Amino acid sequence: MLRDRMEIIIKPSAAEAQQEAAAILRRQIREKPDCVLGMSTGSTPIPIYALLAAMHRRGELDFSRVRTFNLDEYVGLGPDHLASYRQFMQEHLFGKVNIRPENIRVPDGLAKDIPKHCADYEAAIRNAGGIDLQLLGVSRDGHIGFNEPSSSLASRTRLKTITPQTAADNAGPFGSADKVPRHVITMGIGTIMEARRCLMVATGAGKAAVVAQMIEGAITADCPATVLQMHPSCVVVLDEEAAAKLKRAAYYRWVYAHKPDWQRV
Ligand code: GLP
């Protein structure tokens, strides 16, 4: 469904925000069993993937025809590397549901010819019919995927160099920031913007400042997530903590409470 602005959903707790996001994904898969999902990594989606895996265990969700494209991957890491995003997805979702391996796409961190691999990734998304629903998180500096501040708002899948801040933020599975690869392959901002729907999830006080900028700030490559204001159908699911710095939070709640039934997600 097309909307004329972001739809902001503020839930009392992170757990309720995660349940809302999982319910949106469940609805997408039930409405279109062979849908194409854009997947994201980071700490935010982990509980959402756990909820989807539990739905699958209970027999409520069938991934047998679902196709996925992940946003990004570290250059130099193969699919078996414990810190790769391909492994992350295996651990948190793919290994727990009945998705077919041939329906999973994650950029190849070991690709020899990176520009060609990126062009092929774009072509594969197009050949799959485009992404129906793109799950997104936002980093504290406003990057989506690995589109760091200053990324072109029209960018396509390509090699990026991460910032020192991102290396520090993502050090966890590597042990220290200096072990985090400097290069990544990421869908571009233009690629993300072509998804039919986007589902942005942000939880916790650490995201409050960037969430306020993303929703209420000027659109700028300095905070790539602000481009989502231009997306025709973007739902943003927040908990109270992540929503704490929004100027118009009361209005967003009012809009949500008075939404006509036909507009509800
Ligand atoms: C990484 C990923 C992003 C993700 C970000 C925030 O940089 N490439 O896709 O949104 O981390 O992660 P977290 O959810 O842990 O804050």
DSSP 217: S
User: Does 1.20.1090.10 match the CATH number of domain 5-258?
Assistant: no
Contact between 244 and 15 (Cβ < 8 Å): no
User: What pLDDT was estimated at residue 259?
Assistant: 87
Q: Is the distance from the beta carbon of residue 14 to the nearest atom of ligand 1 less than 6 Å?
A: no
Q: Is the distance from the beta carbon of residue 18 to the nearest atom of ligand 1 less than 6 Å?
A: no
Any catalytic annotation for residue 132?
no
User: What pLDDT was estimated at residue 265?
Assistant: 57
Q: Is the distance from the beta carbon of residue 145 to the nearest atom of ligand 1 less than 6 Å?
A: yes
Q: Is the distance from the beta carbon of residue 134 to the nearest atom of ligand 1 less than 6 Å?
A: no
Under-70 pLDDT residues of the chain: 1-5, 264-265
Rounded Cα gap, residues 203 and 228, in angstroms:
17
User: What pLDDT was estimated at residue 262?
Assistant: 81
Active-site entry in 7, 143, 169, 239: 143
Any catalytic annotation for residue 216?
no
CA of 45 to the centre of ligand 1 (A): 9
User: What pLDDT was estimated at residue 3?
Assistant: 56
Any catalytic annotation for residue 117?
no
Locate the ligand 1 atom nearest the alpha carbon of residue 202 and give its number: 14
Mind listing the pLDDT tens digit for each residue in 76-128? 999 999 999 999 999 999 999 999 999 999 999 999 999 999 999 999 999 99
